[in-house]
Amino acid sequence: MFVLSRQEMREIDQYTIHTEGIPGKTLMETAGLGCAKYIQNRLSQDAKLFIFCGTGNNGGDGFVIARYLHQWGHHPRVFVLGDVAASTPETRENHQQCKELGIPLERVDSLDAWFGLDAASITPDVVVDAIFGNGFSGVVRGWRGDMIEVINDLGGLIFSVDIPSGVDADTGEAVCAIHADVTLTMAAPKYGHLLGEGRAKTGKLEIIDIGVPPRVYRALPPRGMHSTTDSIRFPQRSSLAHKGDFGRIGIIAGSPGFSGAAVLASRAALRAGGGLITLFHPAGMDTIFEIKLTEVMTCAIPFAAENRYDIAAIEEKLNTMDVLLFGPGVGVSEQSLQMLEYLLASWHKPLIIDADGLNLLSTHSNLLGQLAGKSILLTPHLGEFARLATCSLMAVREQTIARLTAFTRAHGVAVLLKSATTILAAGEELWFDTTGNDALATGGSGDVLSGIITSFVGQKLSVQEAAVAASWLLGTTAEKLCNTRGSASVIPSDIIEALFCV
């Protein structure tokens, strides 16, 4: 499923109108009819129904909704926020049709005007928000902002048309916005439905087909995709295969006090189907890992001198690996930096960098110049990415796509940005993953994810395919576990044991 930016939606609309010859009036009619059908299926015949319309095309959709619901025997009251005379021809025409049908149309242009209506003392059963649509940006201020607060407090089920009014369709910023129970969006999800506060304000997201021909998307291919069951590709397996067919997977992880990260990443890689897994760890930790990891091979990295690894001693073994993961629990010591410098200079196969590997990159920014042109994936959470991108956490939250795109283009590297909505930026593509829940909000979940990704790359998926599939698998596994136990009690080991369980 595509995910669209504000500009992409505008271009698709204009292409459909001017190249495909489908008038804007027809698109508005189709959008409003689709929304009306959805809402009508959730209305009792005598439901008290309020529809709030702005003066843009989103308001036009609202007038179409009002027309159809009126024709189907319902009794909508329509409140027009502003002067329709300044709106588009399609919106004015649908406003006029509502008037001719005798639908109550009441203008609201101030908070006092609202409280002067009897509706202010009525609790509606259903509210339709058609005030601001995909084109809105910034912050709703003045009396319109006051009205948004009023609408949120009215009670009743709130349906937002296209996007909750006040939510930025590109960033998800929602300083003053409708809190919808259901959002009925046109054609495809928008970035703002999935990001930041926009995701919480959107409620349940439903897609309304407005008749955009598939060839339009081929002519104007969107950057964004939403991870779904149908779009995920997992490694292929054969009953005739042997362990070597499923990858030689190397994991460089662990340090004294942080053995758990190495164990979780290794076990996750194993449970995700990896064929031959080797954990490379600092010398002196052999006993811990040989006891903890029965099915995983271990290889101690000897020290050549204080704070220096003898990498040459394990180089031959490293080179037999198909993919390497570096970072979980390695610390930010001199020898860990030495290992990262070696990998960036000498390793030419797929490399996943997570956890302390990211911390080392952010404190030694000169190494970022060595990322481009290689099959490297960085897997930061928001805080780690803020340090990598040398900006504030707030800037990442408010400008997620812009900051992520700028970083990946500048450094020529793929990034899997972990959050409530996880985003893969690889080349010009964006993948949005909304699976998962608060069961993943615990230390070690990231180690499990990086282990799964590395395992999938070892099983011949591309770095991009592996990142998308692993993120989706982690999230859906957490969701399934919470069907039988409370999310607070789920630990990373539970996730590992439940991978691929039906």
Q: Which among 313, 296, 312 has a CA at the least distance from the CA of 249?
A: 296
In a domain, residue 255? The reply is: yes
Q: Please give the C-alpha separations between residue 90 and each of 34, 93, 95, 188, in angstroms, as whole numbers.
A: 17, 5, 9, 22
Say if residue 129 is in the same domain as residue 267: no
- When divided into structural domains, the chain yields a total of 2
**Residue 502: per-residue pLDDT:** 61
Say if residue 271 is in the same domain as residue 405: yes
**Residue 245: per-residue pLDDT:** 86
Residue with tokens 């490379």: 280
User: Measured between alpha carbons, how far apart are the two ends of the chain, in Å?
Assistant: 24
Say if residue 257 is in the same domain as residue 320: yes
In a domain, residue 8? The reply is: yes
Say if residue 289 is in the same domain as residue 413: yes
In a domain, residue 284? The reply is: yes
Say if residue 288 is in the same domain as residue 387: yes
In a domain, residue 238? The reply is: no
**Residue 306: per-residue pLDDT:** 85
Say if residue 350 is in the same domain as residue 416: yes
CATH code where residue 201 lies? 3.40.50.10260
For the record, the structure tokens of 91 come out as 């919106």
**Residue 385: per-residue pLDDT:** 98
In a domain, residue 232? The reply is: no
Say if residue 209 is in the same domain as residue 269: no
**Residue 241: per-residue pLDDT:** 87
Q: How far apart, in whole angstroms, are the C-alpha atoms of residue 308 and residue 334?
A: 7
CATH code where residue 440 lies? 3.40.1190.20
Say if residue 283 is in the same domain as residue 170: no
SS (H, E, C) 277-312: EEEEEECCCHHHHHHHCCCCEEEEECEEECCEECCH
Say if residue 189 is in the same domain as residue 303: no
Domain boundary among 188, 222, 256: 222
Taking the CA atoms of residue 57, residue 63, residue 68 and residue 73 in that order, the dihedral angle to the nearest 10 degrees is 160
What is the residue range of 356's domain? 246-498
Domain boundary among 189, 222, 255: 222
Say if residue 186 is in the same domain as residue 335: no
| H or E, element range at 52 | strand 49-53
Q: Please, which residues have CB within 8 angstroms of residue 280's CB and are 6 or more apart in sequence? A: 250, 251, 252, 253, 299, 301, 314, 317, 318
For the record, the structure tokens of 120 come out as 């202010």
Say if residue 182 is in the same domain as residue 250: no
In a domain, residue 276? The reply is: yes
**Residue 298: per-residue pLDDT:** 97
How many residues make up the chain in this entry? Answer: 502
Say if residue 187 is in the same domain as residue 307: no
In a domain, residue 39? The reply is: yes
Q: What is the DSSP letter of 195?
A: S
Domain boundary among 162, 190, 222: 222
Mean pLDDT of successive 10-residue stretches along the chain, which has 502 residues: 96 96 96 98 93 97 98 97 92 97 96 96 97 94 97 96 98 97 98 97 97 96 94 92 92 97 98 97 95 95 93 97 98 97 98 98 97 97 98 96 97 98 96 97 97 98 98 98 95 97 76
For residues 133 and 58, is the Cβ–Cβ distance under 8 A?
yes
* β-bridge partners, 400: none
In a domain, residue 230? The reply is: no
